[in-house]
A and B are shown apart, each in its own frame.
Chain A
């Protein structure tokens, strides 16, 4: 408890210093490109009250959630299959390397060309960007599966479902967690770019709009709101799940 308290105090102090430096710099420069923190926070408060920020963040989060889920499921299926089948892996490995190295921007542009400026294009573009990363991580996970546990499952005549649930998934959990975590970090950045290029709502679209209006306080207000939401997801959902899944390690 005491340690947690001290860590909390350190966190507050850290942000306070950052704000102080920002404030001092803004006051000294007196430039429209660097507004004072107070201006940004009143902008944030206004956006939250009239619901505009909430609306656009919700739209963006929806896109993040759907593509995150799809990327995780499809990437896991591909990765586990490749990890378990040597020959298949040798055949498809070059494809994986190719897709890993296609720039996100190229996928996005091509998806907009092929599917039009639609939600489908957004979801496909973001998922395709993430699937190869998930597949590579899960392939490592599948290769690390312990043969002794499969022997156990077979000797005691486990059903297939039982084997997946109690033998395979727990071994893949750390790799899934790693994929989920790096996935969230990557996906929300890509979603913003996708929105900027071809959507008429979402945080990415708003940032683009404010860029054209040279509205720096609004850009910073959206940034702060979005970073907070992502951190809440990380601390409130991903980390507790990881801790629960890793309870047996201690």
Chain B
């Protein structure tokens, strides 16, 4: 599988007056190897979500080029997106929400049931999303992303506004799921500890318009990622540069 190549020369948003435009991203270039877990770290509102939307193809109004990796053996690239909000279709049950994004083959293999079991919602198949708490919704959204067996997984601050304990459980779950089947992940966050804990590599976005200000490899083993002191040390290193 080839790499994901991102080359954004410039991205602007039209101002409400409809005449002038504010540049958001400028000269953002990087590639991601297949199977790499990459965190994109930056302050809120710096253009991280915009970057993900551009990569996904939700926003095509930019200068530059995004080359998605080609899928193995010529099939269509499978993409999954975990949005900031769970974005579950409220008129479909939890299980239907998963089935909707999956292939016939994946449905037959019982992948949806397995993923829901993995996120601890094995008994919520027939629940409608309105009846779920935010944390549960997030878990369904995570299960949905993994149920498509993605070649490329895009995650936009999926654990924000959860309490620390719940967020941590979900991070743990993400690590486990990713370890079972490593996929290319772009994970956007403003939380540097979260980035150090999860990522193999961290890109820091900074400035206005934002561009890549640091590119750091995080070579930690699973145990070190749970050690607060190690995390603080790497984090200091990351933010000092």
B-binding residues in A (CB < 8 A): 148-149, 151-152, 154-158, 162, 166-167, 170, 173, 245, 247-250
Contact = CB atoms under 8 A, between A and B. Distances in A.
Interface string B76-97: 1001110101010111100000
6 contacts: A148-B83, A156-B80, A157-B79, A162-B100, A173-B91, A249-B90
Interface of B: 53, 56-58, 76, 79-81, 83, 85, 87, 89-92, 100-101, 128-130, 148, 154
Question: Which of B87, B129, B130 counts the most chain A CB atoms within 10 A?
Answer: B87
B87 A149 contact: yes
B100 A166 contact: yes
Nearest to A147: B58
A149 B130 CA distance: 15
B40 to A, nearest CB: 17
Nearest to B100: A166
Contact of B58 (A154, A247, A248): A154
A51 B83 CA distance: 62
A151 B90 contact: no
Given A148-B83, A156-B79, A167 B89 contact: yes
A244 B130 CA distance: 16
Contacts of B148: 156
Contacts of B53: 151
A113 to B, nearest CB: 46
Nearest to B145: A156
A250 B129 CA distance: 10
Contacts of A173: 91
B92 A166 contact: yes
Contact of B101 (A149, A156, A249): A156
Contacts of A152: 81, 83, 87, 89
Nearest to B93: A248
Contacts of B92: 166, 170, 248
B91 A151 contact: no
B138 to A, nearest CB: 15
